[in-house]
Amino acid sequence: MKILVINGPNINMLGIREPGIYGKQTFADLLALLEETAQEEAVTVEQFQSNHEGAIVDKIQAAYGCFDGIVINPAAYTHTSVAILDALKSVSIPAVEVHISNVDAREAFRQISYAGMYCEKTIKGQGLEGYRQAIRYLKEKYGK
Ligand code: DQA
């Protein structure tokens, strides 16, 4: 099973950006967690991070026919991007949305998620462990 993990803008700044909200673990720690989870679950995991909305749309389109599942943290684009929502709908690949922080308890502008309108599950407020949970969910439901 092949899973694509997509991270949106500023996720590469983990460990530096707002540690009180996102924690002290770094982006490198996230990449290590993804590798570890791939081994544990015996799946192939590819990670893609971009600060650019169009690059994320391109990556989702390129996933068509290549990946069995998507884990996506669109970061700030969660709350603004109809383009990412439409890209997810276009490829029709099972997807899980992850947020490191508990967006429910944050500002009003974070209460809408466009990508979440497509994703079949959302994991929020679990820190980096949310990515592990998302991969496990996809493996259990769609893994061969
Ligand atoms: C985030 C929450 C978003 O509101 C924010 O813009 C991010 C990260 C999270 O993982 O908690 O950049 O997606």
**pLDDT digits 0-9 by tens, 120-135:** 999 999 999 999 999 9
Give domain limits for the chain.
2-142
Residue whose CA lies nearest to ligand 1 atom number 3: 75
| Cα separation, 123 vs 73, whole angstroms | 10
Q: Tell me: pLDDT of 144 over 80.
A: no
Ligand 1 midpoint to CA 143 (Å): 28
Binned at pLDDT 50, 70 and 90, residue 71 comes out as very high
- pTM tops 0.95: yes
The secondary element (H helix, E strand) that includes residue 140 is helix 129-142
Residue type, 106: R
Q: Taking the CB of residue 137, how many other CB atoms lie within 10 A of it?
A: 17
Ligand 1 midpoint to CA 47 (Å): 17
Largest Cα–Cα distance of the chain, in whole Å? Answer: 40
Binned at pLDDT 50, 70 and 90, residue 75 comes out as very high
Topology given in CATH for the domain delimited by 2-142: Rossmann fold (3.40.50)
